[in-house]
Amino acid sequence: MEYIIITIGFALTIFGLYGILSQKNMIKIIIGFSLFTTGINIVMVAIGFIRGGTAPILDEAGKEIGKYVDPLPQALVLTSIVIGLGVTALMLAYVMKLYQDKKSLNINDYKDLKW
Amino acid sequence: MGKKTMIALITLALAFVIYPLYQSYNGSETLKDVGQYYIDNGVEETGAQNLVTSVVVTYRGLDTLGEVTILFLAASVISFFLSFSKNDRIKSRSIRSVTEILTTSTQVLVPMIFMFGVYIFVNGHLTPGGGFQGGAVIASGIILMFLSNPRFKLSHKVIQFVESTSGIVFVLIGAAGALMMDGDFLSNKIPGFGFGEVGSIISAGAIPVIYTFLGLKVGAELSNVLGVFVESQSEK
Amino acid sequence: MVGPIYIIAIALGLAFFLGFFGKSLKDVSAFLMLAGLAFMTFISGQWLLAFFNGSVTTQEIFTAGFRPPYSINLRMGYEEAVMTTMINVIGFLGGVYMFKRLKEVGNSAMSVFIVLIMSLNVIVMTRDLFNLFVFVEIGSIATAGMIILEKNSKSLQAGLKYLMATGVISGLLLIGIIFAYYFAGSLNIDGIITAHVGVTKAGAVAVFLIIAVLVLELKPFPANGWGLDVYQSAKPGFGAIVSAATATAGLYVLYKVLPMGGETWYPYIVLIGLITFVGSNLVGTRQKDANRLLGYSSIGQIGLVMTVIGLQPILGSKFSFIAFALLLNHYLAKAGLFWLSGIIKKEKISDWYVLRKNKALLILFVIFIFALIGFPPFPSFFGKYELIMSLVSTENIWIAVLILLGSFAEGIYMFKWLGDVLKDEDQTEESLNISWNKFIPIVIVGVSLLAAGFYSTPYVEGAHYFYFIPLGFIVFMGLIDFLPAYVKNTLSIAGMTYYSYIIYPLVEGDLMRTIFFVIFMIGGILTLIVGYNKKGKREGFYPVALMMYAGLATILTSDSMFGFFFGWELMTAGSYFLIIRGKRSKPHAYSYMLFSVAGAYLILLGFAFAYTSAGTQDLIALKDIAVYTTLAYTLLAVGFMTKTASLGLHIWLPGAHGEAESDVSPMVSAILLKAGVFGLMLLFLYMGQQTGETLLFVLGWVGAFTALVGNLAAVFQEDAKRLLAYSSIGQLGYILFAIAMMTQLGWLAGFTYVINHFLFKAILFIVVGGIVVRTGTHNLYQMGGLLKKMPFSFVAVLIGIITLAGIPPLSGFAGKWLFYNAVVLKGWYIQGVIVFFAGSIAFMYAFKLIHSIFLGQLKDNHRNIKELSPAILIPAYILIGGIIYFSAYPQNVLEPIGNMLSAYFPATVDWSGDGLATTVLSYWNGNAVLIIIVTTFILVLAYLKLITGKTTKLEQFNIAYSAERPFRPETTHVSYNMFAGLNKAIGFLIAPGITRFWKNISDMVLDLAGFIRRLYSGNGQVYAVHIIIYIVIFYFISLG
Amino acid sequence: MLIVLASVLGIASMVGAYFAIHSKSLTVAIIATGVVSLISSILFLLLAAPDVAMTEASIGSALTSAIFFLTLNKIRQTNG
């Protein structure tokens, strides 16, 4: 199962990256980022998975099984998700402001700085 | 060769680069040293039975502090945009007709949502969830308020106050650890916060306190971000 | 001691605390921000001090009270203390600088700023990979926020591009980190290092991703369009932070994580750094926007430090000093330049001439530019010197060459910029609006640069604090620049006299050095006397003139390669400023500088090879070099020949010498050129015996052709000063030819030429320069008939050209006599004929010069012209005294030289007779020749005087044809196009082919730069594609 | 059983990702992103990570989509 999930994770990462690099619409690009980070998060959690392990909560139910998955990658992913939200919100704010300026969502229209 | 094909090829090339990582993944039967250490000693050392929480709040507390800072930064930077041009900030948003049902149900739901959020972060050391999840739930309550009442305006002062206070408390608790516990920043073994009995609400030293303020802070920050987005909805 | 953890606590606590403050309390919050930054600086500073004193050892800070790898740990060691102090200082100064803007935007901006600085501190200190990731993200978001302090569409676009690029980068970093954890079982950098994850393919890929991402954070060329946009569009105040503080942190992180991959990664970092350094500077040559140009330069400099980081295993114990010197230099200079940009508020570099409104800022600008190019006494000079020496001595020659190429490319645009600032037409009346909070940070970094240079001294073999004594005097002269010229002139002469007195013992035993000591120091004092002629304050003249002489003195007195090179660069810088003072000197000073810098780099390489072979920095070691002999010899020779303006490398000279101020021309022509000759003589004397005949043969030919072309070009000049300038090229050709013969006679001739050229060229330039000022024209055909108005000048010029043309009885003839003897003995007949022919051409321009100025018809507008002032004539006549003495008693000078030379060459001249020099071919008696000729001359003159009564005196008349003035009156002047026939016959020889050659090369470079920079299409998405391509290529190079 | 579930979710998320990137309508794209995010939170549950699943569902899915929609709304208003 974890093999399938990590495959999904990698696939989403690459797919998201393709979206970032290929889409002209800036909202779509940010969607690409969203998929990209989601994919990476899946990979990270999958890395910490232990076959037959349960959530690392050592309450009565958990102690019965006695085998836990690694809590560390999960903690990292928590951080990563929140960072992802911050970055996404920031990018969207930029896009919103840029749109007011030129009334376009096409990234090709924002090339005032070059060379 | 089209542009999209080329980009697809470039992306595939990157996929090729990271393919060895994918290939090397072969599941795991045993934990890494660090993970095993947390399982073995986590409860004893931090008093929290949810080990993700003890890692987030204690072992890797500095990361979490950074994470809160990122949200704080995002909210601050987004608020720059408002000061970009003053006219942008229109007093009232477009008034759409809001159904009676939504309004009424919001009045009932929002306090419950808030309660739920608080529940999540207060119990962060016991059950899944914690400051971030609770904060997010609170923020979703705020969204609902925006949706149901077009004239609803976020009190920036209150939000600012909650955000700043909880942020400072977080830092102060961290610094208290550094001052009292021989330079251990963000330690949860601060005098006055007992470990209590593992599994009860009052346990795990400073973790529930930190997580509560963390939840408040995250909730305030997320609400702030949302508020900025909502308030910049202007009629032109 | 306050723990480093409080840097985080203070910054974050303050950032959150500012949220309480409303808009009304902005002043308080701004004050708090500065206080917070100051406290952070204090914390890191006290650690730095403690480490410096050795009172503490490296501290590990465990957060949450657990050991790594179970929790995050930070480290405060000496290196971390240095880096965090650098970051916090620039943070504090930047806060002061941007004070008003931050206050305007509000509390949130201040919070963002302080959090940014804090995050950079943590990036430096943390030993945990994921923590590193979190704080890198904080840095990115804060940066994206600070970009839009400049509220315009461009900065918004730059911000989005930056977020996109860092978003892609950090995603890949996360993949690398999690797999590093997967393979190493730890997130701790030290844990990963000890786990050696790189041994498996997948582990290597994980490490690769981490390293590649950290490299990309440093904006390597060419995957750095997003970084350039940030530099261009952000507030300059913030650009300084990105360039200085963020880069410092980024470089340190790279240095910190590189051991994760093991030794194999270092070469790739060198490669990336080199490509960045050379490529970024190359593309920068086409840039017109000041901030973007600074961006290119920043990225280039960061690339250089990256190279050094990659070279760590090679540099060994010297690594720390080199890396730190280069980093510190970039950090201070770039922050200063960005901050200046914030005051200037001009986008185009060509508009920066407003800087001239404020002398202090102008000087600071100059300091920053020279520091960046690596001139003494700045830390980069010491760093680059050590770097090149170490690279060559470890056989990494190509790296050294590429570093010098990149530095040269940086020089191309930096000196262009400097020229624009110093000389561009002033088109506005607007004055600079400078507030104290912006001014003081710039002064602090400027002064720190000087101090840092001073304190670099003990780290470099061969460097002495002694070299800083004249620099101190120069600074003093700069401080009293408001005094009138004559006061400063007197002080300068006094200073130079005293310094000459101090250094004389150092050169006393060495005859060759003594001769050049006389030329440099006594000549310098004499040419300074001419300065009494100048009215007003003459702002900026004395410090730079003294800088040149200080450089010359250092060259003379140093016994180490380092000292020589130090002096050489100092002299170059000083002479550049002297030359650019001329009215139309901008392009000439520019090309002078480019040739000089290129020449200096050749010299540096030559020294490096010599050092490699000899194993010591002593100049004397040049004498016995076992390997690289020819290579070192050639590099040094060509390097020195840029200064002596040998054929091919001469195109800067005519303009530079011709357009310079009237008393600067003699300095640069009569004195400065001799520095190149001194270098050549030193080289030939020490190494000439070891190298093959072929090279000397080639140099001989070069000398011969230089003489021919220089003299021929002089003949066709209409501009009096350019004529003299070309004549210098020709004369230096003789010298090169003479010493390339490597015989005693040849060298005697060479020395005679050196002394003569110094004497007569000083006289001619002093006097002709004075006349040019008096008549208000450079053109010979606009002068004439000045004989009666300026008789003393006439005599001076007459004696000058007699010496120049080598006519008996004066010492010029002595040179010729020795020369032809030498040629015949050596057997270089064909070259000898060419030189002989060149010599006869010298007659023609000598005649043209004196005839056009003094003879013929007096121009109407010169009727009331007066004789030159004594300030000009006295030094000229003192020099004439020198010529007479040398002509009458040549043996007094030449005999000791001959004796000295006999240590190197078989003796071929016999001085046994009183004043009689004998070779196997002929003999020559200076005193006798002088006496005979002077007697004859007096007899003829007396006879002419007797028959004067019989001559008819003609009235002056105007030229008019049929009552019309000619269309171009100058064409009817006898001296206009005087030697038209000769021009028709052999004028093609001086067709500007060489100028065209250099122009083609420079066009090619600029075209290449223009082609490459099309990569920077402006599209943020394309930049993201660049990043991915970069990673893929990097992967295939390193792991594929 | 879990394998089948994971596979189905995988296919669903791929379809969602395809729509997120290739859909002509931005609204559809944003909803598709939210769906992918929700699916990923189920995957997190499968991987025994309830904390992450909660976070992903509340932040990654709900709040992110909300911000996307608010932006879209704003852009439409600016247009109109």
Q: What is the pLDDT of residue C97?
A: 95
Does C913 score more than 80 pLDDT?
Answer: no
Does D59 score more than 80 pLDDT?
Answer: yes
Q: Does C166 touch chain B (CB under 8 A)?
A: no
Domain boundaries, chain A: 2-109
What are the chain C neighbours of B3 within 8 Å (beta carbons)? none
Q: What is the DSSP string of B14-54?
A: HHHHHHHHHHH----SS--HHHHHHHHHHHHHH--SBHHHI
Does B95 score more than 70 pLDDT?
Answer: no
Averaged pLDDT, C806-815: 82
Does B154 score more than 80 pLDDT?
Answer: no
Which residues neighbour C732 within 8 Å (Cβ) at sequence distance 6 or greater?
A: C644, C645, C646, C673, C676, C677, C706, C710, C757
According to DSSP, the residues that pair with C961 across neighbouring strands are C964
8-state DSSP, C482: T
Q: Do A14 and B38 touch (CB under 8 A)?
A: no
What are the chain B neighbours of D62 within 8 Å (beta carbons)? 136, 140
Averaged pLDDT, B186-205: 72
Q: What is the pLDDT of residue C915?
A: 63
Confidence of residue B92 (pLDDT cuts 50, 70, 90): very low
Q: What is the pLDDT of residue C840?
A: 87
Cβ C15 vs Cβ C111: under 8 Å: yes
Instruction: Select from B175, B228, B235 the least CA-distant residue to B206.
Output: B175
Q: Tell me the range of B92-96, B148-152, C102-106 where mean pLDDT is highest.
A: C102-106
Q: Which candidate from B20, B34, B160 shows the least CB-CB separation from C185?
A: B34
Q: Which CATH fold topology does A2-109 show?
A: Helix Hairpins (1.10.287)
Q: Does C137 touch chain B (CB under 8 A)?
A: yes
What are the chain B neighbours of C135 within 8 Å (beta carbons)? 66
Q: Do A15 and D74 touch (CB under 8 A)?
A: no
Over residues C187-224, the pLDDT tens digits come to 999 999 998 888 899 999 999 999 999 999 999 988 99
Does D37 score more than 50 pLDDT?
Answer: yes
Instruction: Select from C94, C12, C81, C75 the least CA-distant residue to C46.
Output: C81
Does B163 score more than 50 pLDDT?
Answer: yes
Angle CA(C195)–CA(C201)–CA(C203) in degrees, nearest 5?
A: 35
Contact residues, D window 22-61, toward A, CB-based 8 Å cutoff: 26, 29-30, 33, 36-37, 40, 43-44, 46-52, 55-56, 59-60
| ipTM for this model | 0.95
Q: What is the pLDDT of residue B89?
A: 46
State the nearest Cα–Cα gap between B50 and chain C, in angstroms.
16
Averaged pLDDT, C510-518: 92
Over residues C740-767, the pLDDT tens digits come to 999 888 999 999 999 999 999 999 999 9
Confidence of residue C971 (pLDDT cuts 50, 70, 90): confident
**Terminal Cα-to-Cα distance of chain D (whole angstroms):** 51
8-state DSSP, C961: B
Find how far residue C643's CA is from the centre of its chain: 13
Contact residues, A window 36-95, toward D, CB-based 8 Å cutoff: 38, 41-42, 45-46, 48-49, 53-57, 68-69, 74, 77-78, 81-82, 84-85, 88-89, 92-93, 95
Over residues C110-120, the pLDDT tens digits come to 999 999 999 99
Over residues C266-293, the pLDDT tens digits come to 999 999 999 999 999 999 999 999 999 9
Distances (CA, A) of C696 to A107, C70, C675, C742, C816: 63, 70, 20, 8, 21
Confidence of residue C636 (pLDDT cuts 50, 70, 90): very high
Lowest mean pLDDT among B183-192, C344-353, D29-38: B183-192
State the nearest Cα–Cα gap between C1015 and chain B, in angstroms.
16
- Report the alpha-carbon distance of residue A56 to residue A75 in Å, rounded: 11
Q: CA nearest D64 in B: which residue?
A: B226
Confidence of residue B91 (pLDDT cuts 50, 70, 90): very low
Averaged pLDDT, C227-231: 93
Averaged pLDDT, C9-27: 85
State the nearest Cα–Cα gap between D42 and chain B, in angstroms.
14
Instruction: Select from C812, C819, C815 the least CA-distant residue to C883.
Output: C812
Over residues D38-53, the pLDDT tens digits come to 999 999 999 999 999 9
According to DSSP, the residues that pair with C719 across neighbouring strands are C779
Q: What is the pLDDT of residue C152?
A: 85
- Report the alpha-carbon distance of residue A74 to residue A55 in Å, rounded: 10
| Residue C190 backbone dihedrals phi, psi, to 5 degrees | -65, -35
- Report the alpha-carbon distance of residue C332 to residue C380 in Å, rounded: 11
Averaged pLDDT, B196-219: 80
Cβ B144 vs Cβ D67: under 8 Å: no
- Report the alpha-carbon distance of residue C200 to residue C184 in Å, rounded: 11
Can you list the residues of chain A whose pLDDT is less than 70? none
For chain B, list the contacting chains (3+ Cβ pairs, <8 Å). A, C, D
Q: CA nearest A76 in D: which residue?
A: D52
Lowest mean pLDDT among A59-63, C57-61, C623-627, D21-25: A59-63
According to DSSP, the residues that pair with C348 across neighbouring strands are C289
Cβ C640 vs Cβ C600: under 8 Å: no
Q: What is the pLDDT of residue C929?
A: 78
Does B86 score more than 60 pLDDT?
Answer: no
Which residues neighbour C26 within 8 Å (Cβ) at sequence distance 6 or greater?
A: C103, C106, C107
Averaged pLDDT, C682-704: 87
Q: What is the pLDDT of residue C962?
A: 62
Confidence of residue C518 (pLDDT cuts 50, 70, 90): very high
8-state DSSP, C560: B
Strand pairing of C916-918 and C923-925? antiparallel
Chain C meets chain D (3+ C-beta pairs below 8 A): no
What are the chain B neighbours of A48 within 8 Å (beta carbons)? 35
Q: What is the pLDDT of residue C950?
A: 66
Does C77 score more than 70 pLDDT?
Answer: yes
Over residues C535-589, the pLDDT tens digits come to 888 888 999 999 999 999 999 998 899 999 999 999 999 999 999 998 888 999 9
Q: What is the pLDDT of residue B235?
A: 41
Q: What is the pLDDT of residue B236?
A: 39
Q: Do D13 and A12 touch (CB under 8 A)?
A: yes
Confidence of residue C734 (pLDDT cuts 50, 70, 90): very high
Q: Which candidate from A28, A55, A93 shows the least CB-CB separation from D21?
A: A28
Cβ C83 vs Cβ C249: under 8 Å: yes
Does C659 score more than 60 pLDDT?
Answer: yes
Cβ B20 vs Cβ C1040: under 8 Å: no
What are the chain A neighbours of B32 within 8 Å (beta carbons)? 70, 72
Which residues neighbour B204 within 8 Å (Cβ) at sequence distance 6 or greater?
A: B46, B47, B48, B49, B53, B54, B125, B188, B195, B196, B198
Confidence of residue B122 (pLDDT cuts 50, 70, 90): confident
